[in-house]
Amino acid sequence: MAFYWYQSDPDLYQAEVAAMRKFFPSFQINQLQDGSGRLYWRGCVQPMGEGGMVWDLMLIYKNDHPHATEGEYGGSIQILPVKPRLKDIAARMMPLLEETYGGYDNAASRGFGLGLPHIYRQNFGRNEEYFICTADPKYFKAGQTRSTSAASALSWACKWIMLCEMWINGEISDDVALEGNY
């Protein structure tokens, strides 16, 4: 019996692979070695171009792909930066935010509880990791005839990275970084 989405819907799997091969050919697909059966893509991007940071990313499918429910930011494709690690960047930013807003509670009430805008945390393997909130789940397509692909999720992630780097560099304000207009 087909247990995973890529077994029960081989056409969708082929479409996912074709989209990534077309738009992000340097990314490689693999399976997590944690017994979950989950597939992931891994590769590097440089959203700010020359001079910008190189981000080593994992795009991890949930086993219910394609799927999105309220509060499930980014739908059934999770984006985990391996290097730089969001948790490390957030740890460097948090003291600055606490200083700006007069303590952790105030920073958290502004939406900076994790030290970066638009991220969420979840256990991954033995560690708690921070993931990119790529998009509000209402934008994640999870229909039978049309679903958001890993390639689309990666393009959202590149947008997030560009805005995050601009925010870290002081090129966009906290309010702009936090607002839901991007």
Partner 1 sequence: MDENNNDAIAARRRALAEALRTGEPVVVTPTGEVEMKDEAQENGMSGIQVPDGKLAKED
- Mapping DSSP to helix (H, G, I), strand (E, B) and coil, where does residue 143 land? coil
- Which ranges of 52-147 does DSSP label H, i.e. alpha helix? 86-101, 104-107
Give the separation between CA 113 and CA 127, rounded to whole angstroms.
19
Least distance between partner 1 and beta carbon 94 (Å): 16
CA distance readout (Å), 26 to 16, 20, 42, 49, 123: 14, 9, 9, 16, 27
Q: d(Cα 64, Cα 12) in Å, to the nearest integer?
A: 13
The residue range among 23-31, 33-41, 59-67, 85-93 that interacts with partner 1, by the rule CB under 8 A, is 23-31
Cβ 113 to partner 1 shortest distance, Å:
9
Q: Which amino acid is at 89?
A: I
With CB under 8 A as the contact rule, which of the stretches 3-11, 84-92, 99-107, 162-170 interacts with partner 1?
162-170
Residue numbers 51-70 binding partner 1 by CB under 8 A: 51, 55
Cβ(73)–Cβ(135) below 8 Å:
yes
Q: Which of 136, 142, 168, 174 binds partner 1 (CB under 8 A)?
A: 136
Q: Which is nearer to partner 1, 39 or 79 (CB)?
A: 79
Among 39, 58, 90, 158, binds partner 1 (CB under 8 A): 158
- Say how far apart CA 133 and CA 93 lie, in whole Å: 18
Residues that bind partner 1 (CB under 8 A): 19, 23-26, 44-49, 51, 55, 73, 111, 117-118, 133-137, 139-140, 148, 151-152, 154-156, 158-163, 166, 171-172, 176, 178-182
